[in-house]
Chain A
Amino acid sequence: MFDLEKTIKEWKRKLRKNPAYEDGDIEELESHLLDEIEHLKEDGLSNEEAFLKAIEEMGELESVGSEFYKTRTKKNRPTPLWQHKKWIPILLPNYIKIGLRNLNHDRGNTFINIFGLTTALICCIVIFTYVKQELTFDRFHENSDQIYRLTFQEINRPGARHFATTSPPMGPALLETYPEIEEVVRFRFVDSNILQHQDQQFYEYGVAYADPSFLKMFNFPLEKGNAITALNDINSVILTSEMAEKYFGEENPIGKSLTLDNITTLTVTGVLAPIKQNTHLHFDFIISFQSFSPPPGYPVTVESWGWVSFYTYVRLREGTNPDELQAKFKDFLVINMGEDVGENRILHLQPLSEVYLNSDLRNASTHLLTGNRGYIWAMSAVAAFLLLIACFNFMNLSTAQSIRRGKEVGVRKTLGAQRSGLIRQFLGESILIALLSALLAIIFSIPFSKFVSSLLGMEFIVRLEDFKFIIPIFFVIGLGLGMISGLYPALVMSAFKPVKVLKGHFFNKKTRFDIRTVLVVAQFTIAILLIAGSFIIRQQIQFIQERNLGFEQDQLIVLHMDGQELTRRYDLIRQQIESNPHVISAGMGGGLLDGDNGSVPIFSRDAEDNEGYPMNIYGAHFGFFETMGIEFIQGRGFDESYSTDSVSGIVLNEAAAKIFGWENPLGKHIQVDQITEGQVIGVTKNFNFASLHREIQPLVMFIPPTNMENLFVRVRAGTFSDMLTSLEQTWEEAVPDFPFHFRFLDEHLDEMYQADQRFFKLVTAFTVLTILIACLGLYGLISHFILQRTKEIGIRKVLGATALQIAFLLSKKFILLVAIANFIAWPITWHLMKSWMQNFAYQTDTNFLIYLLSGLIALTVAWLTMSYKSIKAALINPIYSLRNE
């Protein structure tokens, strides 16, 4: 007897042996088979016949198995058909669809959000690369964490200074004393030199002397020449590749000679490869240190412990604790410089990585590049502000938009959505926007950075190689931004109670204090802060530039002549220059009145104590005071008619006279360290011989035994080009053997405030951006606000309100918010600006009007932003606004 059940069991057992079938398949086949048999039996077949026929119809077992296998491999599904794929949440396509359609539906909002975030992120990338560049100076040297610069600090006395320099014997002596120190490099700049190769002759300002180990300690690879021996011999020089091209063109410079100041012949022993990394060491030529000798007339030698004018770098042995080593330096100072110095000076080890940003040390910025930590902070803050404002826009607009999405939330909840799922959905949307913005920002940052760089004359350029940092960081930031700005709206929206939102009730109307209000106030606080800040910075810079320096800086040309020749031939050259019809007068002076001139102890027998006061010294010659227009309080300037002036005439400034406390300083004795001594012949009014960032210091002026290289020439007002050609002619007649090299003093002095100028430009640029983004946000917000109140506007109009009243009604709240922002922004600005102004010894008075004006600007811009929308809303015919529903 045919047993159907048994036969099927047998059949199933066979199937199980076939590897193509999986558990579900056999059951499927079985049920199919049973169906089939049922069918056939209805047609009148017996069990056995039906079974056989059904099996036949199903096909060969082998082929059925391979069919199963094929469908599986073709679809390549790791999970069986009846389970859904876990790695793509089933709702994801739905979320994406809705998200994108919403973005498209509300294009205005989408634009504001993406534009705002992208702009802010671009600024962040640009600032980020700038900050990164500033913070990573000198990190490229091998063992850069073992390299330190010696700094020398005075203590225990008023006006104590901290030098970035030490004296020339210091380095070698340290190397000999302490085994922890592996290498020492002394580095010394010279103000300017004339370099000559055949008939090519130029003034160079980037000439430095350095010990042979320079190329070993710092990673400046040589393109040509031997790095180990390049600086070993006297009068050998290495130069940068640009300089090699300037002097030698295509020729190979190695072994060729360069003449220094018409006297010394230098041999080129190396050409540096182009320096691409950032380093504070900024030079064009390096001459072997052996060749260095003090300028003529200087009462010092390279063995003088008191000559604090040399940058000294040391490299410590691996594993050396710099603090422990530094602690030992006290004994070193006592042994080498005496008990007094040991007690009153500290020798520091300043890590190389900190050198660039510590610009406040004395001598730190002469010739070396310095950065400014304050500006880095300020820029980072501005970037953060921008991001914050863009985020606030995002949060504001998303929550405002939630009215439209409320229904969706309600429906989803009744369909069984959980809050966590909704939060994920909304967060996902904002992350999507943020990532999109990050992507756009990365794409646009290169052209934008080029634009900003050219605008500001600063190195801001984002390079392609920066992207290996930028891309991961910005995707993380994008993700973070999306989270931050999306979290609040997501929390708010996901918390909607379906009962309420589906009935059209959104927020508890009683609460007037909602987060949007706070965010708008915060945005405008930042905007007003920046507006007022940029006004004040501008005012201060103007104030500095227009300030009476104590001398006439206009129509003043400085002619430069290197070496001793100007001093030697002064009378003749001056006479000839003054004979030029364009020239009023001329006088020789030391520095360009652009900074410290070095200070030395000044003694006087007529002072109450014979302690030396450290004072700045300045060399001046006959005609200098007259040419500069410096006024005298007492006495007179240097004069040819007094034969003693050139030997013992001393002129003080008011500040110096005040230090000595003399009522009548004329005739008092002054000794300028070991340089000179004499009697006071005059006291000048205080004039600015250094940056206005610092108070005017005491100054002692005399005709120095050393040489001076600058001739200050006062010219008549008129066409500059005519005057210059004429002056050049005169110069060539007077000194045919020196190139005509001139500078306008006012331009030169303005360079001291370049950093401030840039800061101003930057702040202004970012202020504009901030206002733009904030206003875009406001625009979006008021659009929603109006949309919400369309009905109310209609009803009011029907009841007889005028368009103006309605426009006012709509913008009233926001205007109030901006007004509140003013009151928050003012004190903060005042405080911030006060601390910024501490940078200047001379500060402009900030008028309250500036604050008022900034507030007014913010208000006007905000009002203009809103007026378009609100007036438009107010003009709508109420028929339309009341029609719906």
Chain B
Amino acid sequence: MIKLSGISKYLDKKFQRTFILRSIDLEIEQGEFVSIMGPSGAGKSTLLNILGFLDEPNDGEYYFLDEPVHNLSERQKSEYHKSHIGFVFQAYHLIDELTVYENIEMPLLYRKVKGKERKSLVADMLDKFNIVAKKDLFPNQLSGGQQQVVGVARALIGNPKLILADEPTGNLHSEQSEYIMQLFKQLNQEEGVTIIQVTHSDAMAAYGNRVINLQDGAIVTKNPY
């Protein structure tokens, strides 16, 4: 599904080139649940952003579903965002002005799903995540864990092939974290959604079936912790 070869990202500052990622080669198959681990500043988030088309590498090639990403136009990237990729963020990033229901509904608007179908899809999601009672609340009326559940629901409603999660449990306490991870695992196993998450925690990484260790922008085989 994903094929990176020689991906590099660096910053040029006067006479010094600081590498964030050093020629990363990586292949991820459909249906994998991958955890990217590594110390702060190892380039985990940058890698995830590149995988999600939010950032561009300075060097290297990236094939998404055999499509060369470096050749995609902004419009095509938007199309992939709409249909193939869902994001889950550490800080949830729900829109404050919208209710739970409306937040979950939003991706469908961009996919131009018609009203009735939207309604039933959102209702399904609310059902699935047990948040029907909260559908009319605004994000600031929810706990962190609940917000993240909404965040996951929003990422899933577009029926993506790939979920990218940047420290999805970073702001949650352990019970909530476990719940979210269970959700991910279930999604991965039952619905075959590919999941790539960035995490600091071995416990969280253990939910996945593969760990990629990053250090100083390069993939290392050994767990650096």
Q: Which residues of A contact B (CB under 8 A)?
A: 81-84, 90-91, 94, 97-98, 101-102, 105, 404, 407-408, 410-419, 497-499, 502
Q: List 15 A-B contacts (CB under 8 A).
A: A82-B114, A84-B113, A91-B109, A94-B106, A411-B94, A412-B106, A413-B54, A413-B78, A414-B54, A414-B87, A415-B106, A415-B158, A416-B80, A416-B81, A418-B78
Q: Is the CB of B74 within 8 A of A94?
A: no
Contacts of B28 in A (CB 8 A): none
Q: How far is the CA of A404 from the CA of B80 in the complex (A)?
A: 27
Contacts of B113 in A (CB 8 A): 84, 90
- Check if B10 is an interface residue, CB within 8 A of chain A: no
- Nearest-CB residue, chain A, relative to B91: A502
The residue that A98 contacts in the complex, of B74, B81, B95, B111, with Cβ under 8 A, is: B95
A407 and B110 in contact (CB under 8 A), knowing A415-B81, A499-B49? no
The residue that A90 contacts in the complex, of B81, B85, B94, B112, with Cβ under 8 A, is: B112
Number of interface residues of B (CB under 8 A): 33
Q: Is the CB of B74 within 8 A of A419?
A: yes
Q: Is the CB of B112 within 8 A of A416?
A: no
Q: Is the CB of B112 within 8 A of A411?
A: no
The residue that A417 contacts in the complex, of B110, B112, B114, B115, with Cβ under 8 A, is: B110
Q: Mark B76-104, 1 if CB is under 8 A from A, else 0.
A: 00111111010101010111111000100
Q: Is the CB of B107 within 8 A of A418?
A: no
- Check if B75 is an interface residue, CB within 8 A of chain A: yes
- CB B174 to nearest CB in A, in angstroms, measures 20
Instruction: Choose among B79, B95, B111, B113 the residue with the greatest number of A CB atoms under 10 Å from its CB.
Output: B95
The 5 closest A-B pairs by CB, nearest first: A416-B82, A416-B81, A101-B97, A84-B114, A414-B87
- Check if B38 is an interface residue, CB within 8 A of chain A: no
Q: How far is the CA of A94 from the CA of B108 in the complex (A)?
A: 11
- CB B127 to nearest CB in A, in angstroms, measures 22
Q: How far is the CA of A84 from the CA of B79 in the complex (A)?
A: 18
Q: How far is the CA of A412 from the CA of B111 in the complex (A)?
A: 12
Q: A407-B93, A416-B78 are in contact. List 18 more A-B contacts (CB 8 A).
A: A81-B114, A84-B115, A90-B114, A91-B110, A94-B109, A101-B98, A105-B97, A411-B94, A411-B95, A414-B85, A416-B79, A416-B80, A416-B83, A416-B111, A417-B78, A419-B74, A499-B49, A499-B55
- Nearest-CB residue, chain A, relative to B77: A416
Q: Mark B50-87, 1 if CB is under 8 A from A, else 0.
A: 00101100000000000000000011001111110101
Residues B119-141 near A (CB distance < 8 A): none
Contacts of B94 in A (CB 8 A): 411
Q: Is the CB of B82 within 8 A of A502?
A: no
Contacts of A410 in B (CB 8 A): 93
- CB B114 to nearest CB in A, in angstroms, measures 5
Contacts of B81 in A (CB 8 A): 413-416
The residue that B95 contacts in the complex, of A84, A408, A416, with Cβ under 8 A, is: A408
- CB B21 to nearest CB in A, in angstroms, measures 14
Contacts of B114 in A (CB 8 A): 81-84, 90
Contacts of A415 in B (CB 8 A): 81-82, 106-107, 110, 158
- CB A845 to nearest CB in B, in angstroms, measures 57
Q: How far is the CA of A502 from the CA of B167 in the complex (A)?
A: 13
- CB B26 to nearest CB in A, in angstroms, measures 19
Q: How far is the CA of A578 from the CA of B109 in the complex (A)?
A: 95
Instruction: Choose among A410, A414, A419 the residue with the greatest number of B CB atoms under 10 Å from its CB.
Output: A414
Q: How far is the CA of A413 from the CA of B93 in the complex (A)?
A: 12
- CB B105 to nearest CB in A, in angstroms, measures 8
Q: Is the CB of A411 within 8 A of B97?
A: no
Q: Is the CB of A414 within 8 A of B82?
A: no
Q: Is the CB of B98 within 8 A of A418?
A: no
Q: How far is the CA of A64 from the CA of B115 in the complex (A)?
A: 25
The residue that B93 contacts in the complex, of A98, A101, A105, A502, with Cβ under 8 A, is: A502
A411 and B78 in contact (CB under 8 A), knowing A94-B106, A97-B102, A416-B107? no
Contacts of A407 in B (CB 8 A): 93, 95-96
The residue that A502 contacts in the complex, of B89, B97, B106, with Cβ under 8 A, is: B89
Contacts of A413 in B (CB 8 A): 54, 78, 81
Contacts of A94 in B (CB 8 A): 102, 106, 109
Q: How far is the CA of A416 from the CA of B84 in the complex (A)?
A: 10
Q: How far is the CA of A415 from the CA of B98 in the complex (A)?
A: 15
Contacts of B115 in A (CB 8 A): 84
- CB B167 to nearest CB in A, in angstroms, measures 12
- CB A787 to nearest CB in B, in angstroms, measures 14
- CB B12 to nearest CB in A, in angstroms, measures 16
Q: How far is the CA of A81 from the CA of B115 in the complex (A)?
A: 10
Q: Is the CB of B98 within 8 A of A97?
A: yes
Q: Is the CB of B79 within 8 A of A411?
A: no
- CB A402 to nearest CB in B, in angstroms, measures 14
Q: Mark B172-191, 1 if CB is under 8 A from A, else 0.
A: 00000000000000000000
Q: How far is the CA of A411 from the CA of B150 in the complex (A)?
A: 13
The residue that B98 contacts in the complex, of A84, A90, A98, with Cβ under 8 A, is: A98
- Nearest-CB residue, chain A, relative to B52: A414
Q: Is the CB of A418 within 8 A of B102?
A: no
Instruction: Choose among A90, A105, A417, A497 the residue with the greatest number of B CB atoms under 10 Å from its CB.
Output: A90
Q: How far is the CA of A82 from the CA of B75 in the complex (A)?
A: 24
Q: How far is the CA of A365 from the CA of B93 in the complex (A)?
A: 71
Contacts of A101 in B (CB 8 A): 97-98
- CB A362 to nearest CB in B, in angstroms, measures 67
- CB B60 to nearest CB in A, in angstroms, measures 18
Instruction: Choose among A82, A94, A97 the residue with the greatest number of B CB atoms under 10 Å from its CB.
Output: A94
